[in-house]
Structure formats: structure tokens, C-alpha cells
Amino acid sequence: MKIPPGYHRQGENRSRADYSLFFKHDEYRGSTFDLVYVDDILIGGDNIDEIKALKATLNAQFRIKDLGFPKYFLGIEIARSSRGILLYQRKYSLDILTDMGMLGCRSARTPMEQNLKLSDAPPKPHYDAALRLLHYLKGCPGKGILLSSTSSLQLIAYADSDWASCPITRRPTNGYCSFLGSSPIS
């Protein structure tokens, strides 16, 4: 495959976090993003002319079909509205419940018990925690993340550490949460 103009194999235009994500940024033309997974390509950006140029370049090398706005990509369902973009995994959640024979189970209001401590050794508490998570999924298979169209582009991150919290190994536990405006992104 010949790399489209402005995109590079190993240069600054390939994401360091995800090697299947390519991007092109120009101060005057804006940004274009190209996410490639096997034979699926997701293209986005803030300049429709740049997106059309990328599609034309790809179509000249391959025969591509523009399916319009995505509705499903890599197991993630995508719904667009005036409020923003909703990402959810309803089908995946129901498939897991079906595979585990738990489609008819009762639902749980929270994914984990409060103050639950999991250690390295005992497998029973881990199994019980996994079952609790499946019960939680039963009650909310369509819940997702809303990427708000009115949210600011301010990046906000929170982190928490509990040093030596495991009573057996004395290892720390860490957690973090990142938001782009009011939308959670990690």
C-alpha cells in the first residue's frame, strides 16, 4: 500500500499509543484521522475537503465503499444525535450473558461491592466479583458513554493511589479517570 500524501509510516503522523491510527494535521487545513483495522477504515476530521481527498486517494489504490457515518465499529455501537455521539456495547454485553448462561439472571445495581478487596491468591472472591459484574451488565446492557457535542475541549484527569493496600503483597492499587470536557475518555 502506498501511504496517502501527508501521512507517514513511522513519522510524527502515526499515533504512538495506537499503531493503527494515522493522523494529518495542518494549521490551515485542520486535522484528519484514519483508524485502520484489517479491512475496516474509520475516517474523521474537521475539514470535509481533506476527508474527501483521503477517500479519493484510498479509492485510487483500493476499491473502497463509503458506508457513511459509522453505526458499529470493532464491537462498539455508535449513535449520533444533536446531543453528541453515544458509544455503547449492548450486543457485546448480551452476547457475554448468553455465553455464560446468565441472560435470565437478576440484575445488580452496582458493578462491585463497596470496599471489596481482591488479593492475588483466593480465586473464589475473584469469581464472585466477575459474577457480580455480569449481574450488573444484565441491568444496563445499553448504557454507554456520551461524547457531548456541547462540551469543552479541556482535558481533565483524576488519579488516586492507595499505597500498600493489599494486606498480603503490600502492593499499591492505582486508578485514574480522564475527561474531555464532560465526556469520559478513559
- Which pLDDT belongs to residue 79? 94
What pLDDT, in 10s, does the model give residues 9-39?
A: 434 466 777 778 888 887 888 888 888 888 8
Contacts for 72 with CB less than 8 Å, ≥ 6 apart: 78
- Which pLDDT belongs to residue 10? 39
What is the rounded CA–CA span in Å between residue 186 and residue 166? 24
What pLDDT, in 10s, does the model give residues 159-179?
A: 988 877 777 777 777 889 999
What is the rounded CA–CA span in Å between residue 149 and residue 4? 30
What is the rounded CA–CA span in Å between residue 133 and residue 141? 11
Q: What is the pTM of this model?
A: 0.71
**What's CA 28's distance to the chain center, in Å?**
29
Other beta carbons within 10 Å of 4:
19
Higher-confidence residue of 1 and 69: namely: 69
